[in-house]
Amino acid sequence: MNTLTKAWSWLTTSAHWHGDDGIWTRLGQHLYLTVVCLLISCLIALPVALVLGHLGKGGALAVNISNVGRAVPTFAVLVLLLLTPVGRFGEGPTIVALVLFAVPPLLTNAYVGMREVDQDVVRAARGMGMTGRQLLFQVEVPLALPLVLTGVRIAAVQLVATATIAALAGGGGLGRIITAGFNLASTAQVVAGAALVAAFALIVEGLFAVAQRLAPDRVRDGNAG
Amino acid sequence: MTAPPDDCLARNEWICGAYLTSRRHILWEAVLQHLQLTVIAVLIGLLLALPLALAARHRRWAAGPVLGVTTVLYTVPSLAMFSLLLPVYGLSAALVVAGLVLYSLTLLVRNILAGLRAVPEETRQAARGMGYGPVRLLVAVELPLALPAAMAGLRIATVSAVSLVTIGAIVGYGGLGNLIYSGMNTYFKAQVLTASVLCVVIAVAADLLLLLVQRLLTPWTRRQS
């Protein structure tokens, strides 16, 4: 348990929290990466999934993209991008790799959510003379919201977790504390960094859980994902 | 003084036949390590997940903690997971296997449990009426009926494990991830691309293999359609 005490004292040393490679800076980079990638992924995945779900087409496509996405190691994508011309744009490769990673779960969840809307309700809305656009925004999207939000939550937590990989390729974020620890052969720092990353991921998961619990009944209960 | 005949290695091209022939052994070793780590981790995961899922199914008080703990484990980022286990296992293959096992648990436990819960109560009662004891009921009725859901979880866990093994490169036991990692540091394009493609090939092949096993093990699901 000696390592744990050392990791604790590493964490409680205030010098490790400040400066260009301090914990606060790394946390900020991590948060920035996660938020930017989550926004871009949502902008790409959600419109596509909602339209496909509304039309009732492309289900196999959505599921297949999701499966292929799981088979491709994000680390490999990141390194591949790093060696292409994209690699010259600072955080560019990391953001592209993380977006590619986050799009599949978002797409699948949103598509499934749209398809699970009660078809009787959809037919009733059609019978009332709703146009396609009205049907989409006033009936289907509100009813699909719980599952869509569950997809966003899964994507957010996995992004926090996966953003650590950026550090392996020299990027920023909390993972950097771990890789720096490896380079310094300091197990205490490695464990301290890992504990920080784990805590951050769990806090994000917890925040989403609380937000979903506090949300109005209508958008709760999206546990099918 | 003669120039080397085929110079795609010197030109550092993405696709390079000379790389494949000259580094055959290295590639083969990396693939073997990758397969070993994945298979061992998934098998241990399965051995642990089955009793956990059974406990959660039959002891009501166990369901909450089992699902809660495995979900928390899944939230911990992979790089952090390997690092947190560092004091226990040191820099070893066991470290990577242990990390992967903890990851696969969530997917496996959830899916096996979902499969067991989906067994209709009438089926269970019929089997009891025919004089089946609890053990025979489990082995001959419940587990086979839970198989499709369990196999779905196993496929996701396996594909994810194949892609997560690459992160093991941080401790030197990452299979093809080792080649990606060292290729990144030396800007060796052919090595990075070849190893990445092999990762995806392994994942897809493993998925298809498990699909085949599932079809062979559950002949009754085919007759319905």
Phi, psi torsion values for A30, nearest 5 degrees: -60, -45
Most B CBs within 10 A among A26, A33, A67, A79, hence the mutation to make, goes to A79
Res. B1: pLDDT tops 80: no
CA angle (A142, A146, A151) in 5-degree steps: 120
Instruction: Kindly report whether the global pTM for this prediction surpasses the value 0.90.
Output: no
Residues of chain B with C-beta less than 8 angstroms from the C-beta of A161: 75-78, 80
- Inter-chain touch A71–B181, beta carbons under 8 Å: no
| Nearest residue in A to B81, CA atom | A194
- Which residue of A lies nearest to B152 if distances are taken between CA atoms? A67
Domains of chain B: 17-219 (1.10.3720.10)
When scoring A80, A98, A186, A208 by the number of chain B Cβ atoms within 10 A, the one with the most, hence best to mutate, is A80
Contact yes or no for B166 and A73 at CB 8 A? yes
pLDDT band at A224 (very low <50, low <70, confident <90, very high): very low
Rounded (10°) CA dihedral B71, B92, B207, B102 = -10
Q: Over the stretch B160-215, which tens digit does the pLDDT of each residue have? A: 999 999 999 988 999 999 999 999 989 899 999 999 999 999 999 999 999 999 99
The three-state secondary structure class of B59 is coil
Angle formed by the axes of helices A74-83 and B176-185, nearest 10°: 20
Domains detected in chain A:
2-221 (1.10.3720.10)
pLDDT in tens, A199-220: 999 999 899 889 888 877 666 5
The residue among A84 and B178 whose pLDDT is bigger is B178
Is some CB atom of chain B closer than 8 A to the CB atom of A182? yes
pLDDT digits (tens, 9 = 90+) for A24-41: 999 999 999 999 999 999
Q: What span, in angstroms and rounded, lies between the C-alpha atoms of A131 and A123?
A: 12
Which bin fits B11, alpha (ψ -120 to 50), beta or left (φ > 0)?
A: alpha
Chain segment B9-66, per-residue pLDDT in tens: 888 888 888 888 888 899 999 999 999 999 999 999 999 999 999 999 988 899 889 9
Is residue A66 very low, low, confident or very high in pLDDT (cuts 50, 70, 90)? confident
Nearest to A76 among B76, B79, B166 (CB): B166
